[in-house]
Amino acid sequence: MKKTKTLLIIAAASLVLMIIITFVMSIVAIRTANKRPVSLEQIVIQSHDIEFCDDIYFAGERVPLEMFNIRERYERELLSNTYFHSNTMVLLKRSKRWFPVIEPILKEYGIPEDFKYLCVIESYLSNVVSPAGAAGFWQFMKSTAQEYDLEISKEVDMRYNVELETEAACKYFMKAYERFGSWTLVAAAYNAGSARVAKFMKEQGATSYYDLLMAEETERYVFRILAIKTIFENPEKYGIYVSNELSYQPYKYYTVKVDKDVDNWAEFAKEHDITYKLLKVFNPWLRSNSLKVKKGKVYEIKIPKKPFNITHGHIMNLIGDEQFFDNDSLVEGGEI
């Protein structure tokens, strides 16, 4: 009996001790959690809980978020782009370089500024080539590019010239707007083709993008644009912090007019104190190592300025020059 009582006392004491230890560990865990940085999962949950504004517009046209399927589609893309945190951050950093190039051209042609976001979802602001053969920031097929006066040959492909391809895209948008009278439908047509969108409208008797049943890719297209626009306009709200200093800065360059044949672009680059690689980075539309120039034709070649013209060779030659590693001298010093 006495032995049993002793065992009960020991068991009770152990239970009390375990409760005390558990309580202390809980307090420590809570305090530690409060000091930890917010995880990606927490960011997504917080974004999901944010009540977004019901008044959302694309190119001045209101998005009918009162419709349940429209709201859900928009939220799906918003959460998806927030979840892929690193990818969205890279796109935001790239936009600091390329939006200043694209925006003035859109304005010149009278195209709403929101169309710059098409470029983001089409190519991620890079000169990619799709499996179907579409190329450049705006993903023009060869036939469409030539229809809009973009030169394509073995030596040049102007789909890789951001300025010229943006102008071609603007001409497409203008033509599509004359046909549909809605910028939202113009965006859909850029993805699916004007003829296909017109066919859907006729078959279904609908005049609004939001009332049309289309292929999944086209149905997602505008909502992907809207999601990118929403995040880019207020990235901090969605847990994305990108400082201007760490974003990709616009290229600095001067242009050289070329109206005669160039036998060797590597030699041309050397004459301008840059590498062949840098020449191609700044002029990706050059597709070979030489160029035949037709009479009366003039090409503008971009030559990078500091700090974009710095090569590894320069670094190795100037490794002992303290001024070289002065950021201000890199950015401000000299014209080229």
The answer to whether the beta carbons of residues 117 and 106 sit under 8 Å apart is no
The per-residue pLDDT for 18 is 58
Residue 258's H or E segment, with its range, is strand 253-258
Measured CA to CA in angstroms, residue 147 lies from 141, 169, 317 at distances of 10, 11, 48
Measured CA to CA in angstroms, residue 188 lies from 160, 192, 301 at distances of 23, 6, 34
**CATH classification (class only), 57-238:** mainly alpha
The per-residue pLDDT for 3 is 47
The answer to whether the beta carbons of residues 227 and 80 sit under 8 Å apart is yes
Domain with CATH 1.10.530.10 in the chain: 57-238
Per-residue pLDDT of the chain (336 residues; tens, 9 = 90+): 544 455 445 555 655 555 555 555 555 444 544 544 444 444 444 444 556 677 899 999 999 999 999 999 999 999 888 877 789 999 999 999 999 999 999 999 999 999 999 999 999 999 999 999 999 999 999 999 999 999 999 999 999 999 999 999 999 999 999 999 999 999 999 999 999 999 999 999 999 999 999 999 999 999 999 999 999 999 998 888 888 888 999 999 999 999 999 999 999 999 999 999 999 999 999 999 999 999 999 999 999 998 888 888 777 776 655 554 454 434 333 333
The per-residue pLDDT for 246 is 87
Q: How many CA atoms lie within 13 A of 47 on its CB side?
A: 28
Cα–Cα distance between 218 and 268 in angstroms, integer?
44
The per-residue pLDDT for 41 is 42
Nearest 5 degrees, angle CA 164-CA 165-CA 166?
Answer: 90
The answer to whether the beta carbons of residues 314 and 281 sit under 8 Å apart is no
Amino acid occupying residue 166 = T
